[in-house]
Amino acid sequence: MQLMREKNKTEVRVPVNEFANIMGYCEYRLLPLLKGKELPQTKTMKKGKEKHEREEEKEEELYEFKPITLEELKDIEAEIEFKREGVYTRLLKKQGNFLFLYHGRVDKIFTKHKTLFIEEDKFVKNPKKYDKMDVAFLDQRLQNVLYAISKFDLDGSFDPENWFSMPQKKRVCIIRIKPMNKQMNKKTGEYPDYKIFKVEIDENLKKILKDKMKRFQNLVLGKELPEHHNNPNKCKACQFDCEYRLK
């Protein structure tokens, strides 16, 4: 998280994954960020990042890319598949003199049947814990819903003048759970799925996200205090070095 101060306003740049991690798993994870530290990268996060990079490289080997025209971007019927990790998301929320900019990078975006699909791969050590779940974890849902309602940019610009919207009103999030220990299929460039969660964005999901963003902003501005989840199992599964760990 970064603070950018100007004369009369302060911009708070928030990586979407950090927001989702804090509001979907543990609000106490915000505390180091407020002291100017970074969230530590766990071993699982590092391994997942390597797999994402491998997918990106393989896609470049397997496919040819051509530039997207403005007309295609505006055409609700166009079928577009963006380059993996090639689309940045940008969402601005104003609160008093503060401007919160939620920024991220989506694994995969494509359009089909007048629908915008937002797809994320989640590499996990223990996929079996998803067996009985009907919906993905809250942090995973928050991340994807935020991506889906954002504006987009192809170059990583933070200037709103450069961002664009997609015309498709119907938006679907796909979360692919992938076992960390499986190998990539060299022909398709994909790692095998263990389970897939699919959800269409509706008003209820937007409201959940809006409430979480409001609380997050209040926590950052010191208007509310973080609450401990009081769940020792969550701390047990957490790899952060943390003084508030429950035993």
Contact positions vs ligand SF4 (CB under 6 A): 26, 28-29, 234-235, 238, 240, 242, 244-245
Q: Whose Cβ is closer to ligand SF4: residue 93's or residue 234's?
A: 234
Q: Whose Cβ is closer to ligand SF4: residue 186's or residue 228's?
A: 228
Under a CB-based contact definition with an 8 Å cutoff, are residues 140 and 156 in contact? no
- Smallest distance from ligand SF4 to CB 16, Å: 19
- Smallest distance from ligand SF4 to CB 199, Å: 25
Q: Whose Cβ is closer to ligand SF4: residue 36's or residue 67's?
A: 36
Dihedral sign, Cα of residue 62, residue 68, residue 71, residue 74: positive
Task: Pick the closest to residue 91 from 4, 33, 21, 16 (CA basis).
Answer: 16
Residue with tokens 């989640």: 122
Backbone φ and ψ for 163, nearest 5 degrees, come out as -80, 155
- Smallest distance from ligand SF4 to CB 34, Å: 13
Dihedral sign, Cα of residue 139, residue 145, residue 147, residue 151: negative
Q: Whose Cβ is closer to ligand SF4: residue 164's or residue 244's?
A: 244
Q: Whose Cβ is closer to ligand SF4: residue 158's or residue 240's?
A: 240
Under a CB-based contact definition with an 8 Å cutoff, are residues 28 and 244 in contact? yes
Task: Pick the closest to residue 92 from 107, 103, 80, 105 (CA basis).
Answer: 103
Dihedral (Cα; 180, 148, 151, 98), 10-degree rounding: -90
- Smallest distance from ligand SF4 to CB 106, Å: 26
Residues 6+ apart with CB under 8 A from 218: 224
- Smallest distance from ligand SF4 to CB 18, Å: 13
- Smallest distance from ligand SF4 to CB 226, Å: 9
Q: Whose Cβ is closer to ligand SF4: residue 179's or residue 226's?
A: 226
Task: Pick the closest to residue 178 from 196, 204, 154, 199 (CA basis).
Answer: 196
- Smallest distance from ligand SF4 to CB 86, Å: 32
Q: Whose Cβ is closer to ligand SF4: residue 114's or residue 234's?
A: 234
Q: Which helix (H) or strand (E) holds 208?
A: helix 203-220
